[in-house]
Amino acid sequence: MVRKIGSGATSNVYLAIHGKTLVSVAIKLLRKESHSDTHKQMFATEASLRGQLDHPNIVGIHDADLHAEEGAYLVLEYVDGDSLNKFGKPDTLLPIDAVIDAIRQSAEGLEHASSKGIIHRDIKPDNLIRTAAGQVKVTDFGCAITNQPDAAPVGVAGSVAYMSPEQLTGNPLNHQSDIYALGAVFYRLLTGRYSFDAESTDSAVHEILNKPHIPVEARRQGIPKELTRIIDRALQKKPEDRHGSWGDFIKEIDEARTAMRTKYDYDFDMLRGFSETTLSRYLADTRELAATRELAARAQADKS
């Protein structure tokens, strides 16, 4: 082991060098005071579920030993970066485009997990690692469960600020619970604040279960409407009112980014001296030309 690089509720994480490959790895070691049957089972579940996942936006697993003398441990892919929690305060926020990119990458990883029937249950900034190059990876599947019919019953787990109403109340979960959590992360990375005001855990639970989230605009002015609509949908109280799938969520992210870039180009042209009338006429002519080309193509196809 080289040095300690992190810690969680039940375990510590160390940077280490693999004895055979000499590759840097991260060792997640269960602390001695956490060696209960419950925590060991969580470790076993994490090892099993991680082994099913192979995706560039998910931290990989190399090995595991649940019966080692020094304590149960997992050998994980080492990611040289910072958790997104570093960028979750008003004075440390990332540029908006970087936030969009981080959320989209996280969604890609979670879509892969969902395709394997895995629900993470603990999506939060701390469990999303961003490298200096901007790559984001989902980590810590310690609370994860599967949505298989024969899966063993599980209790309530997760981090309250990012938990969906159905997760807080112990109701059945699916991928839409993770969508809610990523929506809450999106909110935090854009505003530096939670989606509710509360002074205690009990108060936070009450707010999440009973009150609409505070509008993004109330926390930070100037956030594009295309993004606030995605967050508003993801944070709906009822799962059926959220995005139906990760593909749906990712599609909205892409559409929002395209719309924002189009608006930026329009605004930039305005700054360069083109009048709004000129630009509007140009856009109308462009649309008319596109329609004419489509009609011509259809006519040619009919002749063929």
Identify the CA nearest to 193 among candidates 83, 82, 91.
91
Angstrom distance (rounded) from CA 167 to CA 174: 10
Query: Any catalytic annotation for residue 122?
Result: yes
Sign of the Cα pseudo-torsion (213, 128, 76, 247, in order)? positive
> Which residues contact residue 166 at a Cβ distance below 8 angstroms, ignoring those fewer than 6 apart?
172, 173, 177, 239
The total number of residues written for the chain in this structure: 304
Cα–Cα–Cα angle for 214, 218, 222, rounded to 5 degrees = 130
Q: Of the residues 122, 140, 178, 232, which is catalytic?
A: 122
The DSSP secondary-structure symbol of 241 reads: G
Angstrom distance (rounded) from CA 268 to CA 228: 23
Tokens representing residue 192 in the block: 């530096």
Instruction: Return the active site residues.
Output: 122
